[in-house]
Every structure is written in structure tokens, then in C-alpha cells.
Amino acid sequence: MTETSARSVDAKHVSPGRPDFLTVRNFDFFYGKKQALFDITMDIPEKRVTALIGPSGCGKSTLLRNFNRMNELIDGIRHSGDIRLLGQSIFDKTVEVIALRRSVGMVFQKSNPFPKSIYENVVYGLRIGGESKKSVLDEAVERSLRGAALWDEAKDRLHESALGLSGGQMQRLCIARAIANRPKVLLMDEPCSALDPIATVKVEELIHELKQEFTIIIVTHNMQQATRCSDKTAFFYLGKLIEFAETQKIFSNPVQKQTEDYITGRFG
Amino acid sequence: MLLAKLMIPESSRHIFTDFDSALEDLRKNVLMMASLTVRNIENARRGLFERDEDWCNTVIADDEEVDTLEIQVDRDGIETMLRFHPVASDLRQVMAAMKMSVNLERVADQTVGIARRARKLNAHVLLPETAETEPLFRHAESMVLDAIKAYADQNTELARTLKPRDRELDAMNRDFANKLTELMPKRPEHIQGYLELIFIARFLERIGDQATSIAEDTVFAVEAEDIRHTQAG
């Protein structure tokens, strides 16, 4: 955790392992009249993997999508409280949403490569950001595909369609696309739920590697995955944060009865 | 009586009822092992104090039942972990059951040791010092019974009484061994018999250790507190 990689993002802003890298304070969130999150307060540490778990509808994905303001694509939403990345509110008027989403990348449940070549998928964000220099783009492609553990499988077919990749490779391509922008935070919304066990293992190993460089927040319904991949786990229920602690603690001896009931399958 | 305590209360049942059944089966087998082990201790006691070789032979033969159940509990425990991936208190319960079966098997082995030594003693003249192992027997047996009860009832208050009681048993064993060692030069014709009694006391002292281990595992299963190798009762 103390090692700073040469590829580390914006090292001038960050002392490695900062415990309050991403902070949530008294955060309420509403879809119209329906309140989806209640008074959430938590500190997400830098360069660690934080898992958000809980039954469907508990608010974990809603919170995840707030971290890069993805929810703003939905009508009628509102919030109170604050979310701060490196001390700066992500809702501040000076924050550009596009820039925020570049800093806080996202990988979705179903891989969603563009119907373009592998190369173009990876550099898509950089091109949108105005980068056109071939050497920069080439470097980004290799760096990102290596970072996503896809380089060896894809280096000889960079200009072939991404849609020819397997499901697991597509998901790793989406991870490569997300990290090409050198984000500070990587959000993952059930990234392995559509993958077979072997592809899942590869993505989980990748998550372990990526945390050397990125702060990762993962939503998962798979308890074993949370146990294997994450350093900290937050349990949500009915829009409330019930317990947030080291993963080992949550899965061996949680403090709250609701957490224990959920992880041991007594909920229902 | 023990089996009546196996039922999982409605409020703590799992959504996956097969898991409840697996946990219940595991506990049933462990408590069956416990009952057989207590019976073996009782039979060893009769073999020694009633000077009855048949009881001694029964203890030695019955050990096989406990061994078989130990293997069964191991298999069931591994299968339960494989199928259900238990976590938190569930994982601790499975681990406690598996560790308890190991400890019970060791207690049963100690009773076999007692039975073998008793058989040798019974072949010779009655030593008056044999009666002095009675308090050690009582103490060790009560520890085993309470360790089992604490596990069955998930009663950590009772479990925590075992450690100080084990220290008492250690002291009783030490005193008894010292006394017989002092007697040996005075009555050299009984040295062999005294050695058998010292071994029996030593087996009882080990039974106390295993009862304490069961109690420590129960505290961990229920409260997630590891009290092994500490002074915590």
C-alpha cells in the first residue's frame, strides 16, 4: 500500500494509502419522492478495494453511481450531504462532470465494448479528450491492455473488432478502456456476474493487481468474491449503511446482527 | 437430553434449509460422540474401581465407535464447507464441531489408556492408593460433562469455568504423582502398580486439557473470542 507506482495518478495530490481518499458525508439520495439512501457517511481508503454488498434495492449501486454522478442522467433525482474526492466536493459547481467521470471510471455488469477495434475501444476516452498523437495513443493502449492483463492475448489483433473477443476478454477490455484515462477511482458494478469461473478468476486477479495503482469500489452479490477481492466491505440494507469494516472482520465476526444475518443467509 | 438441544430456533434459521440440516447433522454426530465418550469414561472408572476386566475390555472395544464418528464428522464438516461456504458464526460453528470431534476422540483414547492400565492393576493385589484417583476421576469427568453441556447450550459462561478447573486438576495430578513417588522407595514391591496409577492420573489430567480445549472452541464459536493460551477464563 505504501508503494507508489511510476504510473500512479496525480501523485502530487495524494499521499499513498490516504484513508479519506473518497469521503461520503451525511449523504441522502432521492429518486423523485422515494428516498434511496439515508444519511450515508463513510471514508473510502486510497489504493484499496472496497466492496459494497447488500440485497437488491439496498442502495449500493445507487451510491456507486453517485461517485461519478452517473445518476444525474436520471430525471427527478436529488441529494443532500456531500461526496468528496481528495477533499473536493464532486458536486462543486467548478467540477465538470466529464472530467469527474474521467477521474472516476466505471466498469459495468455486462461488458459493453464499442463496435470498433480493440485499439479504438481503449483510446476512445483519450480521443474524446482531444488526444490524437499516435505515440501517446499507442503507449496508452499497451499500458492499459497490460494493466488489464489482456495485452498478450490482444497484441496481435489490436485492429480487429472488439466484438470478436470472449466475454471475459471483453470485460477486461472494458477495464482497459476505463484505466486508459488514468482514473483515480475505478468503480465496478458486478463486473464478474456475466463471466464464467475462469474469466472471473482472471478479473479478480486483475482487481488485486489494479489496487496497486487505483482505488477500487466494487458492487457484488457474490460474497465469496467480496471476501477474496476486497480489503474493506460495506453492508447496506434498505438504503442505510449498516456496517463498514475490514472485510476479514465483516465475514468473520460482524458487529451488527443484520450483517451477520445477511452474510450467513438468514435474511429473507 | 442432548439431542433435544439440537433444534435451531426459527428466528436463526437459514434461507437455505439444506444448510440448517447439514449443521444439525454435524452437531448430532458430535453430541453422539460426546455421549459415547462420557460412557467410555464411566466404564473405565468401573473397570478400575470395581476391578472388572470386562469393563476395561468394553472401553477398549468401544473406542472404535468414537473413531468412526470422528471420521464422519470430518467428512461432514468438509462437505458442509464445500457446499455452503459458511462465514462468520456459521463458519465458527462448523470449525468448532470439527475441532470438538478431534478433542473427544482424544478423550476416548485417554480412557482406553486408563482401561489398559486398570487391567494391569486388576491382575495384582489391590493398592489402597487406587481409591485416591477417585477425586481426579470425578473432577475430570465433571469437566468433560460441562464442556459438552457448554457446547450443546452455547453457554460461554459455563465454558469459561473450565480453565481454572483445569488448573485445579493439574495440581491434583501433581500432588498425587509426588505422593506415589515418595512411597516408591518405601514400598518397592508396589512400584509397578504405583506407576500404573501415575499413568492413570496423567490420562485424567490430559482429559481435563481436552475438555478445556472444547470449552475454548465453544467460546470462539459463540463469541468469536480466542481465549486459548491466555489466562482468560
CATH class of B18-223: mainly alpha
pLDDT category, A14, cuts 50, 70, 90?
A: very low
Region B107-128 average pLDDT: 95
Contact of A76 with chain B, judged by CB distance below 8 Å, is answered with: no
Burial classification of residue A241, based on how many CB atoms lie within 10 Å of its CB (0-12 exposed, 13-18 middle, 19 or more buried) = buried
Rounded CA separation A189/B26 (Å): 37
Return phi, psi of residue A76, to 5°: 75, 15
pLDDT at A81: 97
Q: Which residue of B has its CA nearest to A249?
A: B88
Distance in Å, alpha carbon of A242 to nearest chain B alpha carbon: 16
pLDDT at A236: 97
Q: Which grid coordinates are listed for B84?
A: 455452503
Rounded CA separation A259/B166 (Å): 36
Among B8, B18, B87, most A C-beta atoms within 10 A, so best to mutate, is B87
Residues from chain B contacting residue A224 (CB–CB below 8 Å): 85
Residue the block writes with cell 454426530:
B29
Question: Cβ of A223 and B224 within 8 Å?
Answer: no
What is the predicted ipTM? 0.73
Residues from chain B contacting residue A251 (CB–CB below 8 Å): 87-88
Residues from chain A contacting residue B221 (CB–CB below 8 Å): none
Q: Considering only the beta carbons, identify the residue of B85, B89, B224 that sits closest to A224.
A: B85
pLDDT at B87: 93
Rounded CA separation B86/B82 (Å): 9
In this predicted model, what pLDDT tens digit does every residue of A229-266 receive, in sequence order? 999 999 999 999 999 999 999 999 999 999 999 999 88
DSSP string of B46-74, one letter each residue = HHHHTT-HHHHHHHHHHHHHHHHHHHHHH
Q: Which residues contact B110 (CB under 8 A, 6 or more apart)?
A: B203, B204, B206, B207, B210
Q: Which grid coordinates are listed for B40?
A: 467410555
pLDDT category, A12, cuts 50, 70, 90?
A: very low
Helices (H) and strands (E) in chain B, counts: 7, 0
**DSSP character at residue A193:** T
Distance in Å, alpha carbon of B89 to nearest chain A alpha carbon: 7
pLDDT at A103: 93
* Beta-bridge mates of residue A77: A31
In this predicted model, what pLDDT tens digit does every residue of A159-215 receive, in sequence order? 999 999 999 999 999 999 999 989 999 999 999 988 888 888 888 998 998 999 999
Return phi, psi of residue A263, to 5°: -70, -25
* Dihedral angle over CA of B24, B29, B35, B37, nearest 10: -140
- As a whole number of Å, the end-to-end CA separation of chain A is 38
Of residues B179 and A198, more confidence is placed in B179
Q: What is the reported pTM?
A: 0.81
**E strands present in chain A:** 22-31, 34-44, 49-53, 77-85, 88-89, 104-107, 185-189, 215-219, 232-237, 240-246
Please identify among residues 46-105 of chain B the ones whose CB lies closer than 8 Å to any CB of chain A. Answer: 85-92
Q: Using alpha carbons only, what angle is made at residue B38 by residues B35 and B43, rounded to the nearest 5 degrees?
A: 125
The size of the A-B interface in CB pairs under 8 A is 35
Q: Considering only the beta carbons, identify the residue of A224, A260, A268 that sits closest to B89.
A: A260
Contact of A224 with chain B, judged by CB distance below 8 Å, is answered with: yes
Contact of B14 with chain A, judged by CB distance below 8 Å, is answered with: yes
Domains of chain A (ranges, CATH numbers) = 22-113+184-263 (3.40.50.300)
Q: Considering only the beta carbons, identify the residue of B13, B19, B87 that sits closest to A263.
A: B87
In this predicted model, what pLDDT tens digit does every residue of A69-108 receive, in sequence order? 999 888 899 999 999 999 999 999 999 998 999 999 999 9
According to DSSP, the β-strands at A185-189 and A215-219 are: parallel
Rounded CA separation A187/A126 (Å): 19
pLDDT of residue A9 exceeding 70, the answer is no
CA A157, distance to chain mean position in Å, is 27
Kind plus residue range of the DSSP H or E element containing A257: helix A257-263
pLDDT category, B7, cuts 50, 70, 90?
A: low
Residues from chain B contacting residue A230 (CB–CB below 8 Å): none
Q: Considering only the beta carbons, identify the residue of A224, A252, A267 that sits closest to B88.
A: A252
Among B83, B89, B94, most A C-beta atoms within 10 A, so best to mutate, is B89
pLDDT at A197: 86
Q: Are B73 and B29 in contact (CB under 8 A)?
A: yes
pLDDT at B232: 67
Distance in Å, alpha carbon of A70 to nearest chain B alpha carbon: 34
